[in-house]
């Protein structure tokens, strides 16, 4: 192989597009890297490194360490079976000759190999690698078209789809242009800088200068670098405001993908707007304008904000003036909605919920509210009777802020604005807090309700959502979960575990279905909903340090026992595993489980217990059962497990000295019935067959 063939090279591909939405860029950049690596490997092209870049108007890849020659490879192609390929004397048949010719090998070079329990002829083909530059056009085209996003576009007369219309292609293999064409756009070594600050085309002569030349033309092509610039500058620029920027990773990701040349500008607004709720002002700045809010040292909002502009520092005053003008108009709109909302109490909005459809088969928001109220009052009566009135009141008002002007404009403020309005209406403070906490834990957070009324309302709302949609057959399948029921089910188990509520999943699901009046329920919906909630327990307890086998041993009891008791049992099992007698007990009790049938057995008859080992086991079982059952009633699980393990020797003595499967059926079934009682007692604590 020549020196040229072994020399490593660099590759640059830039896809210039119309402005891409910020939310698409992270996925596009990730796909570009993953797909490039896969396509290089598929085409037998090694590389030492792949770096990908992206900004609103370009995606780029720089691959290092590419060889000049594609790797050679040997491949095997299976043909007809040996019986068909050769006659009885071992001479090749027409089938063998035809197969050899089709693969470009001589029939003498065909081999015989085993496959699928048979012998087949095989053509071994040596494929020599070609010059990488010869196959790069097709490879690069494949890389470009491999990037897929749900909302891609077609443009012109092309059938090609991409995130946004492609306007230029830059492709270099070392200093040579790789000639390819996509949708009528031909590649070159030309690119463009910033759309406004450096719109003219310029040439990339060397790949090593690509990032530097773009920066000289006001494009920071590396997303991480743009993010780093914003992060490092944001605190410095907010210093004059005597506060600090409210950290928001999602907003940081967004603005870093909106601009190509981030320059930060500090702006201000009138202090009169600080009379509005803090969350409302922050949401207006973030959602409408992508501005960062600033918090003062007391935790309140300062009347300043930070803009991440896409221009030079020389234009900062212009940017500042424009932003202040726009934010004033936005805040005026917010103030108008807030003041209009305050003219009507939440209680006066309850009847208006009758005009809002919750779901076609589930009725209006008013009907939803009544269901949540009934369930909240039931849960309060079971869990904290002193809160029944507050829980019912909170539930009655829970959805009223959904029809206010602010929440219609900013749906993400649901509950938060309800709390503000409830306080203004002089509602009980815990009732007001519950209106906000009903939505906890929220997306991208694990904060749970702090107040008892909030926890009960959150449980009631989420349980009603789950049983309602299960009742009408709208059940999550695979990756599809349009109503976020999995998240809500996880929230239900998290709240119940956190609060230590003394109620089982089975009980609350049954009550939720009883509370679901006027809705035609699908067959099996209740059992399906209960199982759905149980499935959330494994990840929850796993995050708390429990092993998979420990969790599996308790899941069969999870419907019947309060979650707080399940966690205590799990802790007891973990402790029991360190007991010196644990392994012997586990072996013994699994012997019991393995021999007893699933079918129903005749009742145990004492008169048929004739052998001393079975009598001994029965007596020890009765004594152990009385003690274990008493300990379970007192929630002393570790002691119950130690007591249960005292059955190890009687079980082993029984198996070593008694033939369970006796020839006489009545004796056999009686011994099996005894063992079934042993297993039933063990199962009252955990399913030891899972350990």
The pLDDT of residue 1 is 40
Residues facing residue 115 across a β-bridge: 118
pLDDT over 70 percentage in the chain: 99
Digit-coded pLDDT (tens) for 237-274: 888 888 899 989 999 999 999 999 999 999 999 999 99
DSSP 12-40: EEEEEESPPPGGGHHHHHHHHHHHHHHHH
Backbone angles phi, psi at 522, to 5 degrees: -70, 150
Digit-coded pLDDT (tens) for 237-247: 888 888 899 98
Judged against a pLDDT cut of 90, whether residue 85 lies above it is answered with no
SS3 state at 53: strand
Digit-coded pLDDT (tens) for 293-311: 999 988 899 999 999 999 9
Q: Torsion over CA of 311, 312, 318 and 322, rounded to 10 degrees?
A: 30
CB 197 within 8 A of CB 216: no
The pLDDT of residue 493 is 93
The pLDDT of residue 251 is 95
Judged against a pLDDT cut of 90, whether residue 103 lies above it is answered with no
Distance CA 483, CA 527 (A): 19
Report all structural domains of the chain as residue ranges with CATH numbers, in order of start. 3-70+131-216 (3.30.70), 73-127 (no CATH), 223-341 (no CATH), 347-535 (1.10.3210), 576-690 (1.10.730.10)
The pLDDT of residue 3 is 40
**SS3 letters across 452-469:** HHHHHHHHHHHHHHHHHH
Distance CA 621, CA 669 (A): 18
The pLDDT of residue 7 is 67
Top-confidence residue, 586 or 117: 586
Q: What is the mean pLDDT of residues 544-551?
A: 89
Backbone angles phi, psi at 48, to 5 degrees: -95, -25
Average pLDDT, the chain: 92
CB 608 within 8 A of CB 645: no
Please tell me the pTM assigned to this model. 0.80
Judged against a pLDDT cut of 90, whether residue 557 lies above it is answered with no
DSSP assignment letter at 108: G
Q: At what angle do helices 452-471 and 525-534 cross, to 10 degrees?
A: 130
CB 666 within 8 A of CB 606: no
């Amino acid at each position: 192989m020549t020196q040229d063939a072994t020399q490593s090279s660099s590759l640059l591909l830039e896809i210039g597009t119309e402005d891409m939405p910020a939310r698409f860029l992270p996925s596009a950049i990730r796909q570009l890297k993953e797909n490039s690596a896969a396509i290089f490997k598929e085409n037998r092209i090694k590389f030492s490194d792949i770096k990908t870049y992206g900004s609103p108007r370009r995606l780029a890849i720089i691959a290092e360490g590419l060889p000049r020659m594609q790797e050679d490879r040997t491949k095997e192609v299976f043909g007809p079976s040996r019986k068909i390929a050769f006659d009885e004397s071992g001479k090749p048949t027409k089938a063998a000759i035809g197969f050899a010719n089709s693969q470009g090998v001589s029939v003498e070079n065909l081999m015989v190999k085993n496959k699928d329990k048979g012998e087949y002829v095989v053509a071994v083909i040596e494929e020599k690698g070609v010059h990488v530059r010869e196959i790069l056009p097709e490879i690069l085209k494949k890389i470009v078209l491999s990037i897929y996003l749900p909302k891609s576009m077609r443009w012109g007369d092309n059938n090609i789809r991409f995130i946004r219309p492609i306007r230029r292609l830059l492709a270099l293999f070392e200093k040579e242009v790789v000639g390819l064409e996509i949708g009528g756009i031909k590649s070159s070594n030309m690119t463009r800088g910033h759309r406004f600050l450096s719109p003219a085309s310029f040439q990339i002569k060397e790949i090593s200068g690509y990032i530097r030349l773009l920066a000289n033309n006001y494009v920071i092509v590396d997303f991480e670098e743009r993010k780093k610039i914003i992060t490092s500058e944001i605190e410095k620029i907010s210093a004059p405001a005597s506060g600090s920027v409210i950290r928001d990773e999602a907003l940081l990701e967004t603005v870093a993908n909106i601009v190509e040349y981030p320059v930060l500008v500090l702006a201000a607004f009138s202090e009169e707007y600080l009379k509005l709720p803090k969350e409302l002002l922050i949401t207006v700045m973030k959602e409408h304008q992508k501005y960062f809010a600033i918090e003062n040292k007391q935790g309140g909002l300062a009347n300043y904000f930070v803009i991440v502009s896409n221009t030079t520092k020389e234009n900062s005053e212009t940017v500042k003036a424009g932003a202040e003008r726009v934010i004033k108009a936005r805040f005026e709109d917010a103030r108008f909605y807030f003041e209009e909302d305050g003219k009507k109490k939440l209680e006066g909005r309850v009847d208006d919920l009758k005009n809002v459809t919750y779901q076609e088969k589930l009725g209006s928001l008013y009907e939803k509210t009544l269901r949540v109220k009934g369930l909240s009052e039931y849960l309060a009566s079971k869990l904290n009777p002193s809160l029944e009135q507050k829980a019912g009141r909170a539930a009655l008002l829970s959805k009223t802020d959904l029809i206010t002007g602010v929440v219609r404009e900013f749906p993400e403020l649901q509950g938060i604005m309800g709390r503000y309005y409830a306080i203004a209406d002089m509602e009980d403070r815990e009732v007001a807090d519950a209106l906000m906490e009903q939505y906890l834990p929220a997306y991208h957070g694990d904060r749970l309700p702090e107040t008892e009324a909030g926890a009960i309302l959150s449980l009631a709302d989420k349980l009603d959502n789950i049983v309602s949609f299960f009742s009408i057959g709208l059940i999550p399948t695979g990756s599809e979960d349009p109503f976020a029921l999995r998240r809500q089910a996880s929230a239900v188990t998290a709240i119940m575990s956190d609060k230590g509520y003394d109620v089982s999943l089975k009980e609350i699901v049954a009550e939720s279905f009883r509370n679901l009046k006027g809705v035609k329920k699908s067959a099996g919906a209740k059992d399906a909903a209960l199982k759905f909630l149980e499935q959330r327990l494994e990840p929850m307890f796993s995050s708390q340090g429990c092993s998979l086998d420990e969790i599996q041993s308790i899941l069969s009891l999870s419907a019947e026992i309060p979650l707080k008791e399940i966690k205590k049992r799990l802790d007891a099992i973990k402790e029991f595993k360190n007991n010196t007698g644990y392994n012997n007990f586990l072996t013994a009790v699994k012997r019991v489980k393995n021999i007893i049938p699933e079918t129903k057995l005749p009742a145990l008859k004492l008169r048929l217990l004739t052998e001393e080992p079975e009598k001994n086991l029965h007596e020890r079982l009765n004594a152990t059962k009385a003690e274990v059952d008493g300990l379970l009633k007192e929630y002393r699980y570790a002691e119950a497990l130690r007591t249960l393990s005292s059955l190890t020797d009687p079980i082993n003595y029984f198996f070593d000295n008694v033939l369970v499967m006796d020839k006489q059926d009545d004796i056999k079934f009686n011994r099996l019935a005894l063992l079934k009682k042993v297993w039933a007692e063990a199962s009252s604590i955990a399913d030891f067959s899972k350990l």
